[in-house]
Amino acid sequence: MPSIARGSTARSRRRQVSEDNIEEGEPSQRSRTEDVEDDDQGRDEQPRTASRKSAKRAKTGKLKKEEGTKSRRKHVEEEEDEKGEEEEVVKQTIDIENFQDQPLSRADGRRIAQIADDWEQVLGNIHRSAFPLVQQVGIAMAEGERAGMAKRCALKELAHMDIIMRDLLDTQAELKAHKDTLVGIANDLGLDEEISNVVRRYEQGVEDKKEAWENKTTRQKYAKDEVYANFKQGIFEVQHPDQGMPPMTELIDREEGDDEDDDDIVVGGVSQVYTCPITLRILEDPLTSQVCTHSFCKAAIEEYLGNKSVKKKCPATGCNKMVGWSDFKTNKELEQKVKAHLRRERQRQAEAESDDDGAEEIID
């Protein structure tokens, strides 16, 4: 009996120990379960945190954008306020309705002179392109008449070219009126003259010069113009190769207001010379003196002058002007005239030979 009791007691103790161990083990099991739950909860919290940060950044960006817009709006409002204040000051210090033109300065005069230079460039373009073209066409019409073109048609075209040349000269006079008026204003400003009505002065100056040109007679406008004289001479030489061109007064009808004897008009009757005074041959690469207007072959005048830094007496007969290399300029217009002259000479020789052949056939 006693032994049975001890066995029971021992099993009872082992059972109790086992139960105690189970009870003591429960906390560790709960801890592992709680850790798993905490991990799941942490993973759930990560997207929520990222979402909150993104929302916060978006909100911050929106706030900054709103602040920038408010700042710009405020800046614009401040500028408008300042502009309004300035306009108010101007209204208070200047009587806008009765405000007069202000005097120009020397700097304004320099700018006006630059504008005058622009007009001069336009005039230069006309001289370099339009005038030579009309002259060449006129000469071509005259040559066409000699080559067999219907005389009435040729004369009609020549008259039309004459009108075009005069129109160009009228245009030149108007452009020159603008340029000269601006130059006058610029010069007066350079002399410290007070000019406060520049627009009215400019417009009035141009109108006065245009009116003065329009009131001139045809002779007064064109007879002394070098471009027009060259135009008429080129045509006359084709039509009358063996004659010198008469005075311009004989080519332009006299009008009321023209003097009977105008000493200012250069007398004509002299044929154009196409030979070099040095070589006595037809001009080649002609150079014209800006001092005395005599022209020479380029090679001949170069050899005559020798040292380009020394001036010598002009080699043309009867001329006493001293000329140097810097006084000579290439004369393309004269070069074209020489070529036209040679072409006409060849044409005349061909016609003369044809006439001789015809006369021989009649004799035979």
pLDDT at 27 over 60: no
pLDDT at 148 over 90: no
- The CA-atom distances, in angstroms, between 256 and each of 58, 246, 259, 332 are 94, 22, 8, 38
- The angle that helices 151-190 and 106-125 make with each other, rounded to 10 degrees, is 170
Look at 236 and 340; give whichever has higher pLDDT: 236
pLDDT of residue 149: 58
pLDDT of residue 355: 61
pLDDT of residue 21: 47
- Are residues 209 and 172 in contact, defined by beta-carbon separation less than 8 angstroms? no
Quick one: what percent of the chain has pLDDT higher than 70?
Answer: 67
pLDDT at 111 over 90: yes
Q: How confident is the model at residue 84 (pLDDT cuts 50, 70, 90)?
A: low
Class of residue 277 by CB neighbours under 10 A (exposed 0-12, middle 13-18, buried 19+): buried
Q: Output the average pLDDT for the chain.
A: 78
Helix, strand, coil percentages, rounded to 5, for the chain: 70, 5, 25
pLDDT of residue 218: 94
The length of the chain, given as a count of residues: 364
Q: How confident is the model at residue 249 (pLDDT cuts 50, 70, 90)?
A: confident
Q: How confident is the model at residue 274 (pLDDT cuts 50, 70, 90)?
A: confident
Q: What is the mean pLDDT of residues 102-124?
A: 92
- Are residues 144 and 152 in contact, defined by beta-carbon separation less than 8 angstroms? no
pLDDT of residue 69: 73
pLDDT at 80 over 80: no
**Candidate from 20-24, 159-163, 321-325, 350-354 with smallest mean pLDDT:** 20-24
Q: What is the mean pLDDT of residues 85-108?
A: 68
pLDDT of residue 72: 75
Q: What is the mean pLDDT of residues 204-218?
A: 96
